[in-house]
Amino acid sequence: MSTTQPLSLYWSRLSEPTWSLYLAATDNGLAFVGSFDGSVDELTAWASRKFPGSPLSQDDRRLAPYAAELAAYLRGELQRFTLPMDLQGTPFQQAVWQALRSIPFGQTCSYSDIAVTIRKPSAVRAVGTAIGANPLLITIPCHRVIGKNGTLTGYRGGLEMKTRLLELEQAALAGGGR
């Protein structure tokens, strides 16, 4: 009978002038991006839920490429993330998160649009739950999902962060960001 070794988790903190984010990665890719006013407790709670028994160690060097991409995005210089991600979720969550990645930079869509995209048009509430479970804020752009009536709705990072991200993308598009 073989036993599986716990996965190693590495974390770092990204500090930009008006942003402070906790990041975590496995050897397979970026696995967590926290809210801009989140604490290290948000990170450790996520790690203990998703990777119980796995050590969590700070490694700024290992997370530097991820931090660099996020920093470029937060400066309006990057529209698409290219580094690997290690997303842990159900097949339904994975489908929703993949659909989120297809929302173009600077655009929004509704929860029902995502439900239709994944061919589950009656699963709007389940889509909302899957979006709320997204561990990779910003890189899996759940901030681009709004209510069907055009209003901003819940966001794990808070509505202030969601507003700031949408404004950042609009400003980058107006300024010719890549």
Q: Residues with catalytic annotation?
A: 142
SS3 52: coil
Q: How far apart are the C-alpha atoms of 96 and 108, rounded to whole Å? A: 15
Do 4 and 15 form a contact (C-beta atoms < 8 A)?
no
Do 112 and 78 form a contact (C-beta atoms < 8 A)?
no
Q: Which is nearest to 84 in space by CA: 26, 35, 169?
A: 26
CA distances, 49 to each of 18, 53, 91 (Å): 29, 9, 18
Token duo for residue 153:
């709705």
SS3 106: coil
- Which residue's entry shows tokens 């819940």? 154
> Beta partners for 110?
146
SS3 37: coil
